Amino acid sequence: MAFINRELSWIQFNERVLHQATLSTTPFFEKGRFLSIASNNLDEFYMVRVGSLQELSALVESNDNKTNLTITQQLKLISKQVQHFIDHQTQVYDSWMKEAQSYHIHVKKVIDLKSNDQAYIQTMYKSQIEPLLSPMIVDQSHPFPFLQNKQVVVVALLKKGKKKTLGLIPIDPHIIPLVVSLPTSSSLHCVMVSDLIHTHIQKIFKGYEVEAITNMKLIRNADLDYDGSDDEELTFKDVMKKLLKKRQRLAVVRAEFNHPLPELIKEVVKRVSIKTQHVFVNPIPLHGAHFKLIEQFCLKRYPNAFFPQLSPRNPLHPYQGSMMDLLKKQDVFLHVPYDRLDPLIHLLKEAANHPNVVSIKMTLYRLSSQSSIIEALVQAAQQGKEVVVIIELKARFDEQHNIDHATTLEEAGCQVIYGFEGYKVHSKCCLITEVDKGKVITYTHTSTGNYNENTAKLYTDYHVLSANPTLGEDVRTFFTWLQLGDIEAFKQPLHHLSTSPFTFKESILHHIHQEIATHLQEKDGHIIFKMNSMTDKDIMEALILADQHGVKVDLIIRGINCLSVENTTINVRSILGRYLEHSRVYYFKHHNQNTMLISSADLMTRNTMKRIESAINIHDERIIQTIVRSLQLQLRDDIAAYIQVKQHYEYHEGQDSQVMHFSLSELSSTQTSNQGIMKRVFEKMKKAVKPK
C-alpha cells in the first residue's frame, strides 16, 4: 500500500502553481501573480514545515508514518527538490520578463541606462536613498547583526590588507523602496534599488576592497509554540503578543543569494548557523516589489494582461426582503465567488438591529482588514444583544490581525473567547437566536471558508444559511461546548453536525464503510471528495478498501495528497486556475440515495484530530444537486486539471497538446540518494514545463 511523503507532495503542488505561469491561456500579469504566489508559498513552507522539522530533528529522529523517511532524509530530499524548483522558477521568470517587453515593460540594470536616466537615478539615490542606508561591518567589534525575516540585504565580501570581512546593507522596505520607476510616459522602465546600491558599494565601504557583492534573503522559522507555561495572570491575547515578538528572532531556516559566490556565502552561513543544504542561489529578484508597479502600469494600458472581469451574481435576485423571513421558508446556498456574499452580510446586519434577536454567536479564523462582519457584530453588541465570538488568535500569519479585531470586539462589549486550549478553532459557524412571542427561532450559517469578504472574491467556497431547528440546536450545542472549553463534550454525536477532533473523522469513516456495504449489494457505489489536502492515513486506507471492493472513488485535491493511486482505480485530480479551489465536500451516492457533508476541514490529520472543525450533513436536495453539478463539471475538466498517475501528475493543455509530467515517484522512498535519478527526474520535469 503506497503513500507519498507530505512535504514532497507539497513541493509537487507548488510546481503545479508555478506551471500556471507558463500556460498560453494565462494572461501576462496573471503569470506574474502565479510566480509571486509560488515564491511566497515556498517562503511559508520553510517558515512553517521545514522550521518544525528542523526543531524536531534536534530532539528526536522520528520516521514519517507513510513513507518511513526519517526527518534527516526528508530535509535532504526537500533541499534537492527546492533547488530544482528554483531552477525552474528562474526559467519561468526569465520567460515572463521577455514577454513583458511586448508590453513595453523593462526591468533595467543601472549600468545599461541611458545618460538622462542615469542622471535621474543618481540624483534620486543621493537625495532619497543614500541618507537612509545603514551600512555595517562584521568584525570582532561588530557582531553579525539581527536581520529581519525575508528582508533583502546587500552583502559584500570586503578586504583590507590581509583581513577579510563582511559588509551588510539591509534594505528596510518601510523606509526605502525596493524598486523605482524611471520617468517615462508610454513605457515602464524600473530599476532595483539593490542594483543601484551595488553601483555605489565601493564608496559606501571606503577604505575596503570589495571582492564580491550580491543580494541575500534569510527565512526564519515562524512556527510559534504555545505550551501554556506563561504567566497565568496574562490573557491568551497577551501571550500571543509575546510570541509574535519572539517569531521575529527565531532561527534561520533558509538563505538565498543572487549569485554563486562560495567564499562570501560561506562567511554568512557560519554566522547565521544554517546547514548548507538550506542555502540556495536564486538569480531572480528576492522580492516581488516590481510586480505592483507592473500591475499598475498594465491596469491603465493593457486590460488583456489580466483575467477578464467577472461580476458575481446575486443569488436572491429579485428578492430584497428580510433574510430572516426568507430563511424561515427555505435554506439559502452560496457558491462564492460566483455568488455574492451579500446575503450573509445582510442577515448579520438585520440580526444586529432586529428587536427580537437576543444573541449572535460566531467563530472567526481569518477576516478582511475592513470587515463588514466585525461592524455588524459591534453594532449588535451596541444594541444590547449578547455577542459571543470565538476568535482564533493562532491563525498563522493572521495573529496580529486577529488580535486587533479581538480588541475592537471587546471594546464594543462583545464576549471574546481566544480559541480553545490545545486546539485551533478552524470551524466556520454562526448562530443567531430570535425570541418571538416566547418561541425560540435559530438561524445558522455554516461554510467551507472564512468570514473574509476579500478572499470570498478569490476563493471558491460553499455557504449554507438555514433556519432548520435541528441544525440550529446542533450549532447551539456546539457553541456551548466551545464556551465551556470541555474537549470531552465533542465526543457526543449530534444530528446534522459532526465535529473534530472526534465525530467528523468517525462520520467520514462510517460513510465510507457504509458505501462499501451498500455497493456489495447494489453495485453502484460512488464516492466524490473535494478538498485542499489529504494526509489522514486511516481515511486513505478506507478509500483504498472502497476501491478494492469496486466502489468508484473520485478525489479532487488541490494541494497535498499523500495517497498514491498505484495499483488502484482511484481517480485523483488537482484543479488550479483563476480561483483558489477551497471548498470541502464529501459526497456518497448509491442507488439514487445521496449523503453529502460540507466542512471547514480537509482530510488532514491536523484537521481530523488536532483542530476544532465542523461539518454539516446537507438535507436540502436542491443544494445537494447544485453541488453535485459543480463536482461533475470539475471531474470533466480537461483544461485546468492535473491528473494523478501513480505518484506523479500529468497535465493536458487542451486535447491536442503534449502531456506534461510532474513526478515525485522516484523521490518518495528511502532509495533516492542516487543523484543520477534526481537529475533525470527533474530534467524531464523542466523540459515538460518549458514556457512557450
Which positions are catalytic? 426
| CA 390/CA 479 separation, integer angstroms | 9
Report the candidate in 393, 379, 381 with the shortest Cα–Cα distance to residue 421. Answer: 393
Task: Identify the DSSP state of 669.
Answer: S
**Cα→Cα distances 157→209, 318, 353, Å:** 8, 68, 65
Distance in angstroms between the alpha carbons of the first and the last residue of the chain: 38
Residue 581 main-chain phi, psi, to 5 deg: -75, 105
Rounded to whole angstroms, the Cα distance separating 446 from 463 reads 6
Residue 23 to residue 573: CA distance in whole angstroms: 18
Dihedral sign computed on CA atoms, order 21, 24, 25, 29? positive
The dihedral built from the CA positions of residue 361, 367, 369 and 373, taken in this order, carries a sign that is: negative
For 658, phi and psi rounded to 5 degrees?
-65, 145
Q: How far apart are CA 351 and CA 174, in angstroms?
A: 41
Cα gap 381→386, rounded to integer Å: 6
Spatial separation of the C-alpha atoms in residues 332 and 341, rounded to whole Å? 11
Cα–chain center distance at 219? 17
Residues 655/638, Cβ–Cβ less than 8 Å: yes
Among 245, 261, 143, 148, CA closest to 198:
261
How far is residue 330's CA from residue 342's CA, in Å, rounded to a whole number? Answer: 17
**Beta bridge partners of residue 364, listed in sequence order:** 391
**E strand or H helix at 343, and its extent?**
helix 342-353
Residue 453 belongs to what H/E stretch?
A: none
What's the farthest any 2 CA atoms get from each other in the chain?
Answer: 91
Distance (Å, rounded) from C-alpha 12 to C-alpha 660? Answer: 13
Q: Residues 347, 377: contact at Cβ < 8 Å?
A: no
Helix axes 236-247, 399-411, angle to 10 degrees: 150
42: helix, strand or coil: helix
Give, as one character, the DSSP assignment of residue 561.
B
Q: Is the dihedral of CA 109, 115, 118, 124 positive or negative?
A: negative
For residue 285, what are the CA distances in angstroms to 97, 216, 486?
Answer: 12, 10, 49
Q: Cα(47)–Cα(221) distance, rounded to whole angstroms?
A: 4
Residues counted in the chain: 692
